[in-house]
Structure 1
Amino acid sequence: MAEVVLFHHALGLTPGVLAFADDLRAAGHVVHTPDLFAGKTFDDLADGIEHAEEVGFDVLLDRGREAVADLTHAVVHAGMSLGVLPAQMLAQTMDGARGAVLLHGCIPPEEFETPWPQGLRVQVHTMTADDLGDVDVARGLAATVPSAEVFEYPGDAHLFTDRGTADHDPAAAALVLERVLAFLAALDETA
């Protein structure tokens, strides 16, 4: 069993994000779903991104730090799109992280003050033609981080794992879930 902190995308803590967390819980994992938007949700991605910009990315990162402040043991940091920002920052900078799962994009590791930790496993899942999915950044991460796995899915949808969005791709989302569960199981085997 792994303990996972799953940060939501720019639409907020939607039923689709919670459903993905519930899928992980159903496999026996403990999953925390912090709300970086303090209850606000959006139907339009542009509106959610605008809200994130108004709040400020530094504030969102601080909220991410606060969300894990009481967790005293190793966790897997996971994020969907905008949620990749705190998830990746915490995985890179917080001692004891067990791994990272980055859905719908990733950040160049050099954006954070510390390099990617030696041996810290990471999975990135994105669609190949998604303009927001950072596929080139993901490929760069895989080229420089030996413990990185990058999975590209055909298509151009962004939030394809959120079953409440028009972007939802059931087949790709099922494959993401299968791969994430295998990743978490492998972390348990090496613990």
Structure 2
Amino acid sequence: MNVTLLHTAYGLTPGTRAFAEQIAAASGGELTMPDFYRGEIFTDQDSAMGHLEKVGYMELYSRLDGLDVTDQILVGTSLGASFAQRMVTQGAKPARLVLIGNVNPHKPERPWPGVDTQVHHFTQDTFVDPALVATLGQAVTASGARFEHVPTEGPGHLFFEPRLPEYDPDLTARTIQQIVS
């Protein structure tokens, strides 16, 4: 199955590229990695968040206009997870949505469109609110779609990024298998 991965606020880093390539290889499909940062890569959170604030969330999101993820695995990582979830609520039809390290508030007045969804995160990830995960899970299951919540005990945010202290190659490998199965 084809895979589209939306990157974090750090940009399309070598670690993110490697993670995406591993998912695509495991799925046996083609890979799309839109670079909505247009080549910018950041190595620290302050610079990454500063870029996001300078350019603006909606401007960055608009750079994904026209991206077709129909019948694909759509993987969003951190900022990319926010964009991926937003895309699905606005009509995108991936076969599966995978959110890593971020979940947006789900508006109850807007029914979930029946897309199977996985949420992966550390239990002490400051970017993930457990109440938002629970609300999303209720909306997904109410739509008749499958919801998988995969929390991992401990602190951290991006377990697939080798340059960060929370990098966990075993967790990365397990996550890839869960995404493609």
Inter-partner Cα distance in structure 2 for 1:121 and 1:72: 14
- Which range moves more in the overlay, 39-48 or 163-172? 163-172
Q: Percent identity?
A: 32
Q: 1:72 to 1:181 in 2, by over 3 A?
A: closer
Inter-partner Cα distance in structure 1 for 2:173 and 2:74: 20
1:126 corresponds to 2:125? no
Match of 2:41 in 1: 41
Inter-partner Cα distance in structure 1 for 2:69 and 2:5: 17
User: What are the superposed Cα offsets for residues 5-37 of structure 1, whole Å, 9 maximum, x if unpaired?
Assistant: 100001100011100111022221212001111
Match of 1:78 in 2: 75
User: What are the superposed Cα offsets for residues 58-92 of structure 1, whole Å, 9 maximum, x if unpaired?
Assistant: 111111224x1xx3843332210010122111122
Inter-partner Cα distance in structure 2 for 1:176 and 1:95: 23
Match of 2:111 in 1: 115
RMSD: 1.9
TM-score scaled by length of structure 2: 0.88
- Which range moves more in the overlay, 138-147 or 74-83? 138-147
Match of 2:94 in 1: 97
Q: 1:114 to 1:60 in 2, by over 3 A?
A: farther
TM-fit CA distance, 1:96:
3.2
Match of 2:138 in 1: 143
- Which range moves more in the overlay, 135-144 or 24-33? 135-144
Inter-partner Cα distance in structure 1 for 2:120 and 2:53: 24
Match of 2:59 in 1: 59
Task: Name the amino acid aligned to 2:73.
Answer: V
Match of 2:172 in 1: 173
Query: In the comparison of the two structures, how many residue pairs are matched?
Result: 176
Inter-partner Cα distance in structure 2 for 1:164 and 1:44: 10
TM-fit CA distance, 1:164:
3.1
TM-score scaled by length of structure 1: 0.84
